Amino acid sequence: MPAPEARRAVRDAGAKVGRLRSVAGEDGPIILRVGSGHFNLNRATVTVGVEASDSLRARVTLSAAAHEGLIFQDTAAKAIRRILYEITRAAEQ
C-alpha cells in the first residue's frame, strides 16, 4: 500500500485500539497510546514510522515501550501485535 494510505491505516488502527498521542507532520512518526497486557489494562506507547519505499509500497516500522510490574505481561509486544492486526485488516479490505 502507498505511504499516505499506510499512514491513514495506522491512524485508524490507533483509533480502534487506543488513542492517538501525536503526529509529527506528513513524514514524522505517529505516536499512539495503546491498552495492552492482561485485559488491556496496562498502557504502552507505540511509535510508528511510515516511509515510502516506492510509489506503491511503504515501509512501516513500529517500536513500543511499557512499564511492567511484578508480573510480566509482555505489554509492548502485545501492543505491536494489536496495531499490526488492525493495519493488516485495513490492507485486506
Residue pair 32/45 in contact (Cβ under 8 Å)? The answer is yes
Per-residue model confidence as pLDDT tens digits over 8-65? 999 899 899 988 888 877 788 999 999 888 888 889 999 999 998 888 899 999 999 9
Q: Whole-angstrom Cα distance, residue 26 to residue 36?
A: 27
For residues 85 and 81, what is the distance between their CA atoms, to the nearest angstrom? Answer: 6
Cβ-contact 82, 14 below 8 angstroms = no
Whole-number pLDDT of residue 39: 86
Question: What architecture does CATH give domain 3-92?
Answer: 2-Layer Sandwich (3.30)
66-92 pLDDT, tens digit per residue, is 988 888 888 999 999 999 999 888 878
Ordered by start, the domain boundaries in the chain are 3-92
C-alpha cell at 4: 499516505
The pLDDT score that the predictor gives to residue 92 is: 82
DSSP calls for 60-93: EEEEEEE---SS---HHHHHHHHHHHHHHHHHH-
